[in-house]
C-alpha cells in the first residue's frame, strides 16, 4: 500500500543514497568533442534564487567513449539532495573530420541505498520528440536538448524502513534538429551549427514523501495465478457450452470463435504481465 504525505527538511536530510547519472549521446563522436561541462545551476534560471556553483560540489563527473557514443557520467556518493531544481549543461562541438551530430540519447539514472542492498533506476533511449513522427532526425545546432527527470523520496516500511530516492523520466524537449539529408547538409556547411547543446534537468520533489507500508495484496505471483485461473476456466466453460450446442453447427462455430477471442485476450494479458516483470525497474 502506498501513502503520500508532506515531509520536512530534517527528514529529507536522512535520505542518503549513492546516485549515478549516465547520459550517452548516440553518435560517432568521442569525448574529445566535449566542452563546457563543470557548472551546476540551481533554482529557477533568470529568477532571484538562481545560483551557479561548481558541479564538483555535488558530484564527480567524467566522460568515456562507449560503443554508441560519448557517455557523460555524474556520480554522487553518500548523496544528500539539497536543491529542488538542478540544471547541468554541456555541449559537443565540431572537430576536423568529426562533426557534432547525433541520432539520439541514451540514459540511465540509478539510486542505491546506504547499505548497498537495494537499487532503483530508470533507463531508456530518446530518438526524437513528441512533436515529430517516427522518422529519424539528427540533433545538431544551438537550441539545447533538455532531458527532464524527477526524483521521489520513498520510505519502504516493509523493508526495515529503507529510504530510497526513486528516479523517474519526465520529459524530453528536443533542440535543433535536421529532419532530412538536405537540412543536415546545410547544417554541416554552417559553422554556427557546429555543436550539440544538452541540458540535464533534475527536479527533486521534496514537498512529499511516498511511504510503502506493505506489498500489494495482488503481488506478481498472485496476479499470474489469477490470469492462469481465468484461462483454465475459459477452457472448461467452452467445453461445457460446446457440449450442449454440439448439435447446432451454427451456434458451435460462434462459441468457438468467442472462445478463441477470449483465449487470445487472456494470452495477451499474460504476455503483458511477463513483459512488465522483465522491464520493471522500481526496486531490485
pLDDT of residue 222: 47
- Mean of pLDDT values over 152-178: 92
Q: Examine the domain organization and report whether 169 and 197 are in the same domain.
A: yes
Count of domains forming the chain:
2
Non-local (6+) Cβ contacts of 14 within 8 A are 163
* Residue that has been written with the C-alpha cell 533506476 in this structure: 121
For the chain, give the percent of residues with pLDDT over 70: 73
- Based on the fold, state whether residues 230 and 208 are members of the same structural domain: no
Residue 73 · residue 20 · CB < 8 Å: yes
Higher pLDDT, 222 or 30: 30
Same domain, 105 and 244: no
Higher pLDDT, 257 or 34: 34
Is residue 110 located within the same domain as residue 203?
A: yes
For 35-88, write each residue's pLDDT tens digit: 999 999 998 888 888 999 999 988 999 999 999 999 999 999 999 887 889 999
| More confident call, 3 vs 178 | 178
Q: Would you give the end-to-end CA distance of the chain in angstroms?
A: 18
Same domain flag for 266 and 126: no
SS3 content of the chain, % helix, strand, coil (to 5): 30, 40, 30
- Domain end (from 212, 243, 269): 212
Residue 14 lies in a domain: yes
Residue 147 lies in a domain: yes
Which pLDDT value is given to residue 277?
39
Q: Average pLDDT in the 262-278 region? A: 46
Q: Does 281 have pLDDT greater than 50?
A: no
* Whether the predicted pLDDT of 280 surpasses 50: no
Asked whether the predicted pLDDT for residue 114 surpasses 60, the reply is yes
For the chain, the farthest-separated pair of C-alpha atoms sits apart, in whole angstroms, at 82
Interval 5-22 mean pLDDT: 89
Task: Give yes or no: residues 190 and 139 share one domain.
Answer: yes
Same domain, 266 and 207: no
Q: Is 213 helix (H, G, I), strand (E, B) or coil?
A: coil
Angle at 20 between CA 8 and CA 100, to 5 degrees: 125
CB 179 within 8 A of CB 141: no
Helix (H) / strand (E) containing 159: none
The domain boundary, picked from 212, 232, 256, lies at: 212
pLDDT tens-digit map of 173-221: 999 999 999 999 999 999 999 999 999 999 998 888 989 887 554 444 4
Same domain, 168 and 123: yes
Same domain, 146 and 37: yes
Residue 93: give the domain boundaries: 2-212
My answer on whether 130 and 59 are in the same domain is yes
With respect to residue 260, please indicate whether it lies within any of the assigned structural domains.
yes
Same domain, 6 and 124: yes
The pLDDT score that the predictor gives to residue 272 is 44
Question: Does one domain contain both 233 and 102?
Answer: no
The answer to whether residue 159 is domain-embedded is: yes
91 versus 45: the higher-pLDDT residue is 91
Residue 124 has pLDDT above 70, yes or no: yes
Gap between the Cα atoms of 17 and 165, Å rounded: 7
Supply the mean pLDDT for the chain. Answer: 81
Report yes or no on 284 lying in a domain.
no
Indicate the residue among 162, 192, 212 that finishes a domain: 212
pLDDT score, position 1 = 64
Is residue 112 domain-resident? yes
Amino acid at each position: 500500500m502506498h501513502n503520500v504525505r508532506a515531509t520536512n527538511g530534517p527528514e529529507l536530510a536522512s535520505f542518503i543514497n549513492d546516485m549515478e547519472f549516465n547520459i550517452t549521446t548516440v553518435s560517432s563522436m568521442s569525448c574529445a568533442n566535449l566542452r563546457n561541462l563543470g557548472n551546476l545551476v540551481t533554482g529557477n534560471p533568470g529568477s532571484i534564487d538562481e545560483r551557479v556553483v561548481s558541479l564538483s560540489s555535488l558530484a564527480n563527473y567524467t566522460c568515456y567513449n562507449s560503443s554508441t557514443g560519448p557517455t557523460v557520467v555524474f556520480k554522487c556518493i553518500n548523496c544528500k539532495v539539497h536543491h529542488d531544481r538542478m540544471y547541468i549543461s554541456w555541449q559537443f562541438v565540431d572537430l576536423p573530420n568529426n562533426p557534432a551530430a547525433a541520432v539520439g540519447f541514451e540514459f540511465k539514472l540509478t539510486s542505491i541505498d546506504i547499505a548497498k542492498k537495494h537499487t532503483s533506476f530508470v533507463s531508456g533511449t530518446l530518438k526524437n520528440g513528441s512533436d515529430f513522427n517516427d522518422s529519424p532526425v539528427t540533433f545538431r545546432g544551438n537550441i539545447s536538448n533538455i532531458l527532464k527527470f524527477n526524483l521521489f523520496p520513498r520510505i519502504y516500511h516493509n523493508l526495515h524502513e529503507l529510504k530510497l530516492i526513486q528516479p523517474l523520466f519526465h520529459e524530453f524537449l528536443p533542440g535543433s534538429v535536421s529532419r532530412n539529408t538536405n537540412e543536415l547538409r546545410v547544417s554541416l556547411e554552417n559553422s554556427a551549427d557546429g555543436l550539440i547543446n544538452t541540458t540535464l534537468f533534475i527536479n527533486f520533489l521534496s514537498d512529499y514523501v511516498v511511504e510503502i507500508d506493505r506489498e500489494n495484496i495482488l503481488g506478481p505471483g498472485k496476479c499470474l495465478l489469477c490470469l492462469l485461473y481465468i484461462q483454465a476456466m475459459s477452457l472448461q466453460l467452452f467445453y461445457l457450452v460446446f457440449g450442449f450446442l454440439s448439435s447446432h453447427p451454427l451456434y458451435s462455430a460462434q462459441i468457438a470463435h468467442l472462445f478463441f477471442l477470449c483465449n487470445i485476450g487472456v494470452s495477451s494479458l499474460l504476455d503483458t504481465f511477463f513483459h512488465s516483470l522483465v522491464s520493471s525497474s522500481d526496486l531490485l
